[in-house]
């Protein structure tokens, strides 16, 4: 069974305050990752930057969790998957995606992928495309009452996906007992680049 941590006494107001603290830090580290990939500064500048980064890392490590962040919930039921590599508020490798759900339970996200996600020159790594679509299909498959986890997922890469502004979306095509069949795609400005379909299964511990 997966471990979800309910943090007693943590209100929605507290969650918003923590987000205000940590989200800008994550954005700064995300910018640092991009700068590290693309910098052409000299050795002296790189050494000075490394010393500053190491010092900042030591300050942040002065108090930290023993393991991963997990998925935490506030007393008000706010879900905090802040370590998630796709949507995590505190994960600088997350683009991050902001997921929107419409009245028909279709989910979508518009986001940007830059140098940190490159595979073929100027294009998104195929594994990153799979990561994004696995998450987006999983969001479509699940809701607050019915979590579903990836059973199988199939990707069809129609062409390479250019780095830059992208769009992903997904919806449930049918439900059969504990299984939800979900379809979705990733697109750049010229149209769909990757199609995906998957089976997402409600785990035994969540079946009531």
The predicted structure's pLDDT at residue 76: 84
Give the confidence band of 3 by pLDDT, cuts at 50, 70, 90: low
Residues 58-112 have pLDDT tens digits of 999 999 999 999 888 888 888 899 999 999 999 999 999 999 999 989 999 999 9
157 — phi, psi (to 5°)? -90, 105
Residues 162-204 have pLDDT tens digits of 999 999 999 999 999 999 999 999 999 999 999 999 999 999 8
User: Residue 131 is encoded by which pair of tokens?
Assistant: 């990561």
CB 29 within 8 A of CB 92: yes
The predicted structure's pLDDT at residue 137: 98
Domains in the chain, CATH or no CATH each: 1-94 (no CATH), 97-206 (3.10.129.10)
Give the confidence band of 125 by pLDDT, cuts at 50, 70, 90: very high
State the DSSP code for 206: G
User: Residue 72 is encoded by which pair of tokens?
Assistant: 């935490």
Residue 17 contacts by C-beta under 8 Å, 6 or more apart in sequence? none
Cα 41-25-27 angle, rounded to 5 deg: 65
Of residues 111 and 1, more confidence is placed in 111
The predicted structure's pLDDT at residue 78: 86
141 — phi, psi (to 5°)? -75, -25
Give the confidence band of 1 by pLDDT, cuts at 50, 70, 90: low
Q: Is the dihedral of CA 99, 35, 120, 128 positive or negative?
A: negative
The predicted structure's pLDDT at residue 94: 98
Is residue 36 pLDDT above 80, yes or no?
yes
Give the confidence band of 118 by pLDDT, cuts at 50, 70, 90: very high
Q: What percent of the chain has pLDDT over 70?
A: 98
Residue in this structure with the two tokens 């439900």, named with its chain if needed? 175
Question: Measured between alpha carbons, how far is 122 from 1 in angstroms, rounded to an integer?
Answer: 40
Of residues 145 and 111, more confidence is placed in 111
């Amino acid at each position: 069974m997966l471990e979800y941590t309910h943090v007693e006494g943590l209100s929605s107001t507290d969650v918003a305050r923590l987000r205000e603290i940590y989200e800008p830090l994550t954005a700064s580290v995300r910018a640092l990752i991009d700068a590290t990939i693309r910098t052409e500064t000299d050795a002296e500048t790189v050494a000075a930057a490394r010393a500053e980064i190491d010092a900042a890392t030591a300050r942040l490590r002065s108090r930290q969790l023993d393991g991963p962040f997990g998925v935490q919930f506030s007393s008000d039921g706010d879900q905090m998957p802040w370590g998630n590599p796709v949507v995590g508020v505190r994960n600088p490798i997350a683009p991050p995606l902001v997921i929107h759900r419409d009245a028909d339970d279709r989910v979508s996200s518009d986001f940007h992928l830059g140098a940190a996600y490159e595979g073929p020159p100027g294009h998104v790594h195929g594994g990153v495309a799979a990561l994004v679509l696995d998450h987006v299909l999983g969001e479509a498959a699940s809701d607050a009452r019915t979590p579903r986890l990836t059973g199988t997922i199939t990707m069809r890469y129609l062409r390479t996906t250019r780095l830059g502004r992208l769009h992903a979306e997904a919806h449930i095509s049918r439900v059969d007992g504990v299984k939800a069949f979900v379809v979705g795609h990733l697109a750049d400005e010229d149209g769909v680049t990757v199609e995906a379909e998957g089976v997402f299964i409600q785990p035994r511990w969540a079946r009531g």
